[in-house]
Each structure stands twice: as structure tokens, then as C-alpha cells.
Amino acid sequence: MKQYDYLIVGAGLFGAVFAERARQAGKRVLVIDRRPQVAGNVYTEKIEGIHVHRYGAHIFHTNDSRVWNYVGQFANFNRFTNSPVANYHGELYSLPFNMYTFNKMWGVVTPQEAQEEIRRQRREAGITDPKNLEEQAISLVGTDIYEKLIRGYTEKQWGRPCDQLPAFIIRRLPVRYTFDNNYFNALYQGIPVGGYTRMVENMLRGVEVRLGVDYLEHKEELNGLAAAIVYTGAIDEFFGYRLGNLEYRSVRFETEVLDRENFQGNAAVNYTDRETPWTRIIEHKWFEFGRDEDGNPLPKTVISREYSAEWKPGDEPYYPVNDEKNSSLYKEYRELAKNEPKVIFGGRLGEYRYYDMDQVIGAALELAEQQLCR
């Protein structure tokens, strides 16, 4: 008889949700994480009374009422709505592209005028069969929006000129002929009051958690403790990279405390010109309307400049590169995983896929149903 039914590697959302479900089902669970804190990449830390999103800004949004009701047990969500602003050489535009954007860009007032302008620019460009991202963008939204709002940002994100990027990256672009700045089309949206870390701590209440423990360094000993393992680390790392590295796109953050109340008046400002080296600036306090939990205004502010970066082995993995090469390498690792009947691979790193938070929670709930209701 093993000491635990499940050893869960990783205290991110996938691991925490599975652990919570397993504990509720009466299973004996141990969660470990190599980091000194829980919450994985949704970790928020308090600086000057502000919840700072250390691994990148996280906005919870979902259409899945099961997931929304589930997370609601562990946090109250505020009414934050993501409405980013684009800064092109000091000209500010609303995102996603909508009537406010078109009015600022061309002075048009009605949806019909905006549609006509976009149609005119598309016609003028004369692109019938887009061969790269630049042509695809122009054929979808015309030249002005491409030049001012898409080109620089995309080139910084991918580290390559738009005419050398494949067209499929932007099959569609969100264009709204309404005055609606809400970036997400989700039914539910918000930020957990008190931060994501507290929400995850609430999920893990009553669960044994050991931090600063690397599974791969103590594999034999830890395997001996549990009947099954839920592993949410990187699948290639699990197998000692024996088939090669799965690649990621990385982000570098430069975080600064400023001795002023308001830096940019919005949580997210995208820098869409080519010259500014960062892609975005996040001002974390605006995720919570600039106030602490008692409703007091916060005197200082914390900003993070985001730089898109090439990833090299050893860097923090952020966005999986789902091209042919990496997808087929991942498939080979999946084959190896079949020889590990005790181990369930889950989460963004275990499955090498980009998961939004609601999707990763949904996937962990599904796994829990399969595993625990047998």
C-alpha cells in the first residue's frame, strides 16, 4: 500500500484543480513544485499593495459556466474587462479594432463609412491570394490598420518581418463595427479579488504541499510514495530531452515600481510601432481599479515592460511553437509516454500546448472525472 494515491507534480492550475478534486473524492494526495511558491504561471505577488502578475498578465475569461462556477468557489471575481490600448508613436487607438479605432484612424462616424474605407483599401492593395502575413493582414483590414496597428507589434512578437511570416498566423482578425472595446467575447470575465495566488491556495487547502522539490531530482524516491503520478512539467524534460528539445517562444519582463499614482491609465498598452523595443506595458494596479482590497487608492504603481524573446534551452518556456517540426517531436514524446502507465501528463507543459486558464481548468476537471469516478 503506497502512502499516497496521487503524487501531483506542479502546483499550477492543472495540478491544483486535480488535487482539489482528488482530495474531495477522499484520495490521499501530495503536491510538489520546484518553485518556492504555488500557482505556477498565474502566480501573483504583492508589491506596494498591488498584485503583480510575475509571469505575464492573466485575465480570466470563459464561456464555460461549469468552469466559472468551479473557480467561484475559491475566489470572488471583480468586473475587470480587458480593453487594451494601442500606442503608435504616441497616437492612441482602441483595441480590438472597432468603431472607436476607425473614428480615430479615418474620422469616420458610421459603421457603413468604416466598412467602405476598409473595402476601398483592400481593393487598392489588390491582393487576391495572400502569400504571407503582410498580404493576409492587408487583405483583411486594409493598409492603414496593418501599418499602424499590426506590423510593428507582430514583427516584435515573432522576431521576423511580416512578409516572411506565414499567412495562416492571422487567418482572421477581430473587426467590430460597434463601439465595443471588450477584447474577449467571453460570457464571464474578471480578476480574482486577492490575486491568483490566493485562489490557488484556497484550492489547495487541506492538501499536503511541498515546495522547492524537483520531481526529476528525486524521481525514484517520490515514485515509491504514490500509486499514480500527475505530471504537469515539460514532457521533453521528463524524458531527459532524449529526442531533442521542444521549442518555445519566450517573453522577458522588466518590472519597475514608480513613485506616482498613475502611469498609463490602463492595465495594458500595446506598442505597435517598430521602433519601441517592448511589445506591451502592463500597469498591474488597473486589474483591480487602482485600489487595495479595502477600497483605498494605492499611492504607487508597478509596471512591467514585456519584450518578446527567442527561447533557448534553460529559459522559462512560455508559448509552444506549434509548427510541424515541434508537433511531430511532441508526438514522439507521446509515444514514449505510453511506456509510463503510472504517469498522467497534463497541463500546458505536459501536453505541449497553449491552454488558456479556463481550458486548463476544464481539462483538469475532465481528468478528475475520468480518474476519480471509476
Question: What SS3 class is residue 356?
Answer: coil
Annotated active-site residue in 28, 34, 122, 249? 249
- C-alpha distances out from residue 35 to 39, 57, 186, 196, 279, Å: 10, 19, 32, 16, 27
User: Is 146 noted as a catalytic residue in this protein?
Assistant: no
Annotated catalytic residue, options 254, 354, 366, 369: 354
Residue 28 or residue 34: which is nearer to ligand FAD going by CB? 34
Question: Helix, strand, coil % (nearest 5) of the chain?
Answer: 35, 20, 40
280 as an active site residue: the answer is yes
Q: Respond yes or no: is residue 306 known to be catalytic.
A: yes
Q: Which of 21, 54, 280, 348 is catalytic?
A: 280
Q: Is 5 a catalytic residue?
A: no
Cα 49 to its chain centre, rounded Å, is 23
Torsion of CA 61, 64, 66, 69, to 10 degrees: 30
Active site residue 129: no
Q: Let me know: does 31 contact 204? Beta carbons within 8 Å.
A: yes
Residues that bind ligand FAD (CB under 6 A): 9-15, 32-35, 40-42, 56-60, 214-216, 232-233, 251, 318-319, 347-349, 355-358, 360
φ/ψ region of 358 (left if φ > 0, alpha if ψ in -120 to 50, else beta) reads: alpha
143 vs 157, beta carbon nearer ligand FAD: 157
User: Closest separation between CB of residue 126 and ligand FAD, Å?
Assistant: 37
d(CA 11, CA 200): 8
Smaller CB separation from ligand FAD, 330 or 355: 355
| Cell 521528463 -> residue | 238
Q: Is position 198 annotated as part of the catalytic site?
A: no
State which residue, 289 or 307, has the beta carbon closest to ligand FAD. Answer: 307
| Residue 353 falls in the annotated catalytic set | no
Of the listed 288, 306, 351, 358, which one is catalytic? 306
Q: In angstroms, what is the minimal distance from the CB of 219 to ligand FAD?
A: 9
Query: Which are the catalytic amino acids?
Result: 172, 176, 249, 280, 306, 354, 356
